[in-house]
Amino acid sequence: MGVRILYNSSDGMATIYCSTTDIAFGPVFYDGDNHEADERAEAFIKWLPQDARRYTDTELMQQYTAWLAQEDAFWKREDAPKCDDCDEPIPEGQALCAACLQKAMQ
């Protein structure tokens, strides 16, 4: 028994529940550009330092807010333009990072 995921694929929504008490709790996850709601819920559960059932509602929502911020930062890095040579993030409109540009100038 443990934390499980309820997923409705037609609505693109998921939530978590305790399979011991059959009570749903925590945030609702939605399908996104990169992952379906059940995958996002699973990632959140794995990200938590301890079992999701150990948190109060307020603590779980604080954890969820921190996870959303981390997820958003990850996708911003993933979606950022990359250097043609080394795949490091670069400013919009450039082809090479500063290090690769310096190497090319030598």
97-106 tens-digit pLDDT:
778 877 778 7
1: DSSP letter: -
In a domain, 103, yes or no: no
36-65 tens-digit pLDDT:
999 999 999 999 999 999 999 999 999 999
Residue 48: which domain range? 3-80
Q: 38 is written with which tokens?
A: 């059940």
3-state secondary structure of 27: strand
70-80 tens-digit pLDDT:
988 887 776 67
HSE-CB for 47 with a 13 A CA cutoff:
16
Number of domains comprising the chain: 1
In a domain, 41, yes or no: yes
In a domain, 92, yes or no: no
Alpha-carbon span 96 to 82, nearest angstrom: 8
In a domain, 43, yes or no: yes
Q: For residue 50, what pLDDT is reported?
A: 96
Q: 77 is written with which tokens?
A: 């890095």
Alpha-carbon span 62 to 58, nearest angstrom: 6
23-32 tens-digit pLDDT:
999 999 999 8
Alpha-carbon span 89 to 105, nearest angstrom: 20
In a domain, 99, yes or no: no
In a domain, 87, yes or no: no
In a domain, 54, yes or no: yes
